[in-house]
Amino acid sequence: MKKILLTLGLAFIAASSAFAQTTTTNGYTKSNGTYVAPYTRTSPNGTNVDNYSTQGNTNPYTGTSGSRAQDYSAPASNYGGGAPIQTGSRGGQYYINSNGNKTYVPKQRSSGF
């Protein structure tokens, strides 16, 4: 009996680690007065490969397919419209758009690789 429980426990752990970890946000009101309802998202982990918004993934709560390129994929190099891609202090990559603001993009390999 102990072996069966141990086997089931290990199987559960393996299965649960195969899925993206999620977190639920609280609802909030934007500065313009728009209310944003609570929602579930993948937990931050330094990559977008398992995010619901990434190509090849589907949000199980809304059924929406992801459209954003995966980090370090060939399509990730198409972001920025030729503007230089910069890396921030915490690893995020962005370019400066025409309004002078940072626009974050999927991570790209530097040209040295």
Residues 37-96 have pLDDT tens digits of 998 888 888 788 888 888 899 988 889 999 888 888 888 877 877 888 888 888 888 989
pTM: 0.54
Helix H, strand E, coil C: the string for the chain is CHHHHHHHHHHHHHHHHCCCCEEECCCEECCCCCEECCCEEECCCCCCCCCCCECCCECCCCCCECCECCCCCHHHHHCCCCCCCEECCCCCEEEECCCCCEEEECCCCCCCC
